[in-house]
Structure 1
């Protein structure tokens, strides 16, 4: 079988993969191949129009993964929507472009990853995007007028904006509500984020008001580069290794057009298939837990037990409240698919690039600690809870390391243990706590406040179930399996009602509060836990399954993203993220790809 040769082969043209390919192909004499299982959905209006993102779920742009039944979520199987397209999940996500915190990136280094601290990695976040320029008037409306406009010198491919109408009142309302609480983020969170509320950015082009995904941002303008070859609808089935010690990745076997093909890699094979499929491909190729590989008659190339372990994900739980009619614009008419509202919105978007369709409805964010745990009896409760749930002496090194991070986070009033966000409309995705099914669109206007468990301790697994590359892996996040997660998340969920009762936000919500489910009224922590079990879903931020950690601490790749025990093989995607940032994962994946490009160029003398 003849095989074409390339310098670099990247498996997966998603958010990380296509960004990395763009940077590596900047070196004209380096030949780069990208194998992407999806196709190009850039012209799909559901991709372009921000408000339509959820219409892509369950389509051919979505891998449509589901977890096994989750014991701590009432036995529910949880949907994990992941993009199957050039551009990956940046094609189907909810656009939010959230900053990390300095503490989290510094914790990456403390976990054993030299060169991944804030000082080193923050510039790579900035390198990936262009921040929006707003007039002084608009900056006041956006509640960012006290941020220094020139704090950031950005010029990266991903075009960002403050989503939706700049005149929408929710930003100022949110800002003033938290200012009264002493939790307004007064500085640009991209310069220094700790705790506080802020208006969030989104990967939405500020001029066209269309989604700016990875393929559009990085690839569209350079796709005619002669040294860059992108093959769509190409499914990688196996990484090929040569004999020797250590084994060397020399190529990739893949299916395309009904044929099995092989591509050779002169320098490196780079796996960028995502947190749910990068471990799958490693296992199919003989890199993973030897017991699992032998179970499916796969020859062991490298016994690396941590492949597919350490799965972490952000959980999100929300309460939707009835809003005072006509106080602010919401997406509810679109959720009900009211013909007149949809027609007007489409005309406004297509003709003027304006209107309600220019955002997914998420405009405000907050990074917060558990405020009740900062002093007095609450502090004593926290200290007792931490001692009761501390890993035993026989626990793994990894469990102890992660617990230390969680403990530092919970004890520090300037570190967030949750992110909060709002959506201008009802939530059509999460299940109703009474029926267990998504609530049909309701009449009237609604406003949703959600909280995200920022630093989960619960860890799950992703593993193959056969040696068939076409078969999906078994995904078991083991959500809320760590008791500390249950207590922390429940406390944050209870705080949602406190936010909703606080002025001036309370003025746009019907009072007394009318949650979409009667279970949204929580009288104690046990009620919050019951609501959490029935309402919580994934934020679709899986990470950590090929973790960047020391091998003895459960790592799969080193701090250069090289897979342990083999040569010429790296992983570059969310699977290497050792610890989730507090908010949406998108910006971190871009930063990771930008950093990886420099590491790879340096390793091969290509700078």
Structure 2
């Protein structure tokens, strides 16, 4: 039986940061358990390769939800990283922290130390921005953030100009003084390669003698002695093994797997656990509840001018861009396809932006999400607009199907279950049409392919939303942080209520989903969690 000071379950966006920061002073030994394998994979490191990683069971859990009534009974496809770096190794790399007010909301919900001024230092500490440091950005951290603007497709300029013509202002940095406006996205990349947290943090941590990283090690349950977590039981190489923690166990397995492991360990809703044949050891009814996610929808257009389709569809185009990438580490293979976008208000009653926009100079009409890799765009010029409401009010949950740790959870998104969310999706659809009608976009739009001009009324738009919209892969809050132990799972120091020596540090602790992509704030949680753990360790 191996023993370490800290045992971390999950080497993803947050877990990798926790492992690096806990081990960097050399005083404490750290063991990291990752259910997936190595991140040394071509489709992970080449930025555009996420279209392939999106549907690769070797590095992706490839979850399916239960039938979702709000989506007309459709099952959703929820890819999650099963690899070193977690979902930061398979995502679209867009770097968005969220609105300052998001974190003020967290603090107001009973979480001291999580307001904007509290979390900003951790965002800055994590980041090495290629534009340099300022009051909001960092330049010395391990996570490199790349500005795509010089290499984005010319159609991005049409989108930004068209958005300005539609009444929205230009914003050169969504992660700066404020988030509102339209512009170019930044991505987690360096020198033409993806910057996952495996590359940013684990590459440093694994060189230390006090760090042990075990891959293909699936955690089955947390060891409990009374109300104290003392270690973890896991499977590796077909054999059940145990590792113990002298100080703490930290769950960083993500918004799906962290609640699963807690429940398998007897921490959750007692009645639900007993119904699955699991002894209820710690009553925590909120485990797996309060789940939030972003829903998005794309409008696809046929273009009058060439798009990335002409560069990436024909074999000779793929070859030319591949040669360009090998020689220069630049071009479309070195970027995300989400090249431009923004955060805007859909109506003047909004006190802050309530809609995130995406613009991609490429179109896929024959590669539905979750059915095939996104590797072949359309053979004709096309592009898409995408939108997602930033702060949905629908709440879902996850639950065990059985006591088998190898069986995936039942995921119940409960999408579009509030009038607020339905209304905002309709507003988002009209907003996309508003931008498409701008002179700058009309110069390049030949026709709207999907959903098509026949969809005009609110009822038709909502029906289209229910038939086509899907997750934007931002599930959070299944181990929610808050002051009430009856309604939440962890306190403001990320300690699991009712259990000593156990914390959760990943997107599952978010009190609410942030306004935008969730990878950056998940990394921030890992950075801050490490400080909280070290503070409490020194004080013990």
Tell me what 1:220 maps to. Answer: 203
SS in 1 for 2:449: coil
Give the alignment partner of residue 179 of structure 1, picking from 159, 164, 189.
Answer: 164
User: Where does residue 46 of structure 1 map in the other structure?
Assistant: 43
2:221/2:234 contact within 8 Å kept = yes
Coordinate RMSD, CA, aligned = 2.3
Contact 1:319-1:520 within 8 A present in 2 as well: no
Quickly say closer, same or farther: Cα 1:552–1:544, change in 2 above 3 A: same
Decide whether aligned partners of structure 1 residues 562 and 224 sit closer, same or farther in structure 2, where only a CA change above 3 A counts. Answer: same
Q: Does 1:320 align with 2:300?
A: yes
Give 1:150 shift. Answer: 7.5
Q: Structure 1 residues 105, 185: CA separation in 2 closer, same or farther (over 3 Å shift)?
A: farther
Q: 2:409 aligns with which of 469, 473, 480?
A: 473
Q: Within 5 Å, which residues of 2 pair with 1:486-565?
A: 486-510=422-446, 514-519=447-452, 521-552=454-485, 554-565=487-498
Cα distance in 2 between the residues matched to 1:260 and 1:120: 41
Gap change, CA 1:319 and 1:10, over 3 Å in 2: same
Q: Which residue of 2 aligns with 1:388?
A: none
Residues 375-407 of structure 1 deviation map (CA, whole Å, 9 limit, x = unaligned): xxxxxxxxxxxxxxxxxxxxxxxxxxxxxxxxx
Q: 1:353 aligns with which of 322, 326, 329?
A: 329
- Contact 2:166 / 2:434 at 8 angstroms: preserved in 1? no
Does the CA-based 8 Å contact 1:289-1:307 persist in structure 2?
yes
Q: Equivalent of 1:455, from 382, 388, 391?
A: 391
- What's the secondary structure of 2:83's corresponding residue? coil
Gaps of 5+ in 2: none
Q: Any residues of structure 2 matched to 1:40-119 within 5 Å, and which?
A: 40-42=38-40, 44-59=41-56, 60-119=58-117
Q: Deviations over 1:453-508 (max 9, x none)?
A: 21111111111111111111100111111222111111111211111111323322
3-state SS of 1:604 partner? helix
Deviates more, 1:300-309 or 1:173-182: 173-182
Distance 1:330 1:150, change over 3 A: farther
| Alpha-carbon distance, 1:369 to partner | 1.5
| 297 and 151 in structure 1: CA distance in 2 versus 1, 3 angstrom threshold | closer
Quote how far apart the aligned CAs of 1:305 are: 0.6
**Worse-superposed segment, 164-173 or 316-325:** 164-173
| Residues 73/440 of structure 1: CA separation in 2 closer, same or farther (3 Å cut) | farther
Aligned to 1:418: 355
- Distance in 2 separating the partners of 1:593 and 1:429: 38
1:240 aligns to what? 223
Which residue of structure 2 aligns with residue 254 of structure 1? 234
1:161 corresponds in structure 2 to: 146
In the alignment, what sits opposite 1:406?
none
Corresponding residue for residue 10 of structure 2: 12
Question: What CA distance in whole angstroms lies between the structure 1 residues aligned with 2:488 and 2:367?
Answer: 34
| Partner SS for 1:458 | coil
Distance 1:272 1:153 in 2: 24
2:308 match: 330
Q: Does the aligned pair in 1 maintain the 2:24–2:205 contact within 8 Å?
A: no
In structure 2, which of residues 407, 418, 423 is the aligned counterpart of residue 482 of structure 1? Answer: 418
State the distance in 2 between where 1:461 and 1:219 align: 31
SS of 1:260's partner is: strand
Structure 1 residue runs of 5 or longer lacking an equivalent are 135-147, 375-410
Structure 1 Cα separation of the partners of residues 288 and 8 of structure 2: 20
Question: TM-score, normalising length from structure 1?
Answer: 0.84
Aligned to 1:198, the other structure's residue is in SS state strand
Shift of 1:566: 0.9
Q: Is residue 174–residue 180 contact of structure 2 (8 Å, CA) maintained in 1?
A: no
* 8 A contact 1:431–1:439 mirrored in 2: no
Partner SS state of residue 251, structure 1: strand
Q: Distance in 2 between matches of 1:84 and 1:96?
A: 19
Query: Do the aligned residues in 2 keep the contact of 1:132 with 1:161 (CA within 8 Å)?
Result: yes
Shift of 1:196: 1.3
The question of whether the paired residues in 2 share the 8 Å contact of 1:325 and 1:445 is answered with yes
Please report how far the alpha carbon of residue 563 of structure 1 lies from its aligned counterpart in structure 2 after TM superposition: 0.4
Contact 1:331–1:361 under 8 Å retained in 2: no
Give the Cα separation in 2 of the matches to 1:73 and 1:560: 36
**Alpha-carbon distance in structure 2 between the residues aligned to 1:604 and 1:261:** 26
How many pairs were matched up?
Answer: 537
Aligned match for 2:281, one of 301, 305, 309 = 301
TM-score, normalization by structure 2: 0.95
